[in-house]
């Protein structure tokens, strides 16, 4: 087992206080948006070993079979997931992630064109897809998945004005074509039309008789305050507003548009950094690539929760890259819990004080809130004891 030091990301939407409070460190006044725990080459965690400090990606590459195991190495050839602690204080960009096929095609094309990876107009950063799930540590809010089609039609009808063309195009057939035309119309609005929609929504938000319209326009008004004149505030009309209580999670498949708004959570995703944006950002928006990545057949979002009386619970999204288990030793009468799964695992203490022991590692490791461990396949099964909550990412 190796104690991890995560890679900090100080994006401007990050909270200046939430992450330091969780980690038990002093804030430095700068946004602390994400802490990456994993082996992504652009931000690997580090460990301290016989050779001193080294990246987890380097350590895994030195002994792929010992760290990954034959099953994971054959399927992925690397650690296939990335874990993040996530602390948004204001909304992230509305975004969508491409399928593996689209990511590979787009990445190779941009490589052929010679566009540097750090170019702000670069769209594809790697060849992988990026399904992800977020587990709420505190109350967590976001936008996720398309609203039911009838709700979208209602909102476009009630706001009307510059949204009438989008309403008309939505009605072109019952399938995905109308949805695509509708979204393409929204992201193509002129600045004057965007401002008009924002003003209409702000006027409807306080007292519209229909609760869906009132709430959706309230979200538009909130986002317009954070991102004045941004088309993403308009796009939010067609997405569900989601509230997660602590212990709840939601899974976001390839092609599902989403944005995190505020809260503190743990995110697990495929080991990729491919993000295609729809709005709420000053970064590059590749409209053609974004529209090609959106799954217009998707609707709604499923929220899963940890049973309150369960000593352990596993979230298993329908992807091969990752699963997440939550264990509560000492809190439910179970002083010692053997965690599910094998292969390469990352443990994160979410509360209390947790001690981890494995079949083949002679020394136990104790972690407190905010600390994390990488456990290679060669260490065998993991048993945790103590009192608190520990999250484990693993390959199902």
Q: Which residues contact 25 (CB under 8 A, 6 or more apart)?
A: none
Asked about 8 being catalytic, the answer comes back as: no
3-state per-residue secondary structure call for the chain: CEECECEEECCCCECCCHHHHHHCCCCCCCCCCEEEECCCCCCCCEEEECCEEEEHHHHHHHCHHHHHHHHHHHHCCCCCEEEEEECECCCCCEEECCCHHHHHHHHHHHHHHCCCCCCCCCCCCCCCCCCEEEEECCCEEEEEEECCHHHHHHHHHHHCHHHHHHHHHHCCCCCHHHHHHHHHHHHCCCHHHHHHHHHHHHHHCCCCCCHHHHHHHHHHHHHHHHCCCCHHHHHHHHEEEEEECCCEEEEECCCCCEEEEECCEEEEEECCCCCEEEECCCCCCCHHHHHHHCCCCCCCCCEEECCCCCCEEEECCCCCCCEEEEECCCCCCCCEEECCCCCCEEEEEEEEEEEEEECCCCCCEEEECCCEEEECHHHCCEEEEEEEEEEEEECC
First to last CA, the chain: 20
Per the residue annotation, which of 78, 169, 262, 277 is the catalytic one?
277
Residue 145: phi, psi to the nearest 5?
75, 155
Cβ atoms of 44 and 32 closer than 8 Å: no
Residue 337: phi, psi to the nearest 5?
-130, 130
Active site residues: 277
């Amino acid at each position: 087992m190796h104690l991890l030091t995560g890679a900090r990301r100080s994006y401007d939407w990050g909270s200046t206080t939430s992450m330091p409070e969780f980690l038990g460190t002093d804030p430095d006044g700068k946004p602390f948006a994400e802490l990456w725990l994993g082996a992504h080459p652009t931000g690997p965690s580090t460990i301290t070993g016989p050779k001193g400090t080294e990246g987890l990606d380097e350590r895994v590459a030195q002994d792929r079979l010992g760290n990954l195991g034959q099953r994971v190495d054959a399927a992925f050839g690397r650690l296939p997931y990335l874990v993040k602690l996530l602390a948004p204080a204001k909304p992230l960009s509305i975004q969508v992630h491409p399928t593996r096929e689209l990511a590979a095609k787009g990445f190779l094309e941009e490589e052929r064109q010679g566009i540097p990876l750090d170019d702000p107009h670069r769209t594809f950063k790697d060849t992988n897809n990026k399904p992800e799930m977020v587990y709420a540590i505190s109350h967590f809010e976001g936008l996720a998945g398309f609203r039911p089609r009838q709700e979208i039609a209602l909102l476009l009808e009630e706001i009307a004005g510059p949204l009438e063309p989008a309403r008309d195009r939505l009605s072109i057939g019952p399938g995905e074509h109308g949805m695509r035309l509708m979204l393409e119309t929204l992201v193509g609005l002129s600045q004057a039309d965007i401002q008009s929609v924002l003003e209409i929504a702000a006027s409807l938000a306080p007292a519209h008789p229909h609760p869906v319209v009132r709430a959706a326009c309230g979200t538009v008004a909130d986002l317009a305050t954070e991102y004045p004149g941004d088309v993403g505030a308009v796009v939010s009309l067609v997405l569900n507003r989601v509230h997660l209580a602590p212990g709840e999670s939601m899974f976001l498949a390839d092609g599902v548009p989403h944005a995190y708004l505020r809260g503190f959570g743990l995110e697990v995703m495929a080991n990729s950094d491919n993000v295609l944006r729809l709005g709420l950002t000053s970064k590059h928006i590749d409209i053609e690539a974004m529209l090609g990545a959106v799954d217009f057949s998707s609707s709604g979002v499923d929220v899963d929760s940890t049973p309150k009386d369960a000593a352990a619970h596993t979230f298993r999204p329908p992807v091969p890259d990752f699963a997440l288990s939550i264990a509560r030793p000492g809190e439910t009468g179970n002083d010692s819990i053997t965690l599910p799964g094998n292969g390469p695992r990352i443990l994160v203490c979410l509360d209390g004080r947790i001690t981890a022991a494995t079949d083949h590692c002679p020394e136990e490791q104790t972690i407190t809130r905010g600390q994390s461990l990488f456990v290679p396949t060669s260490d065998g099964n993991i048993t945790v004891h103590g009192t608190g909550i520990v999250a484990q990412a693993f390959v199902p």
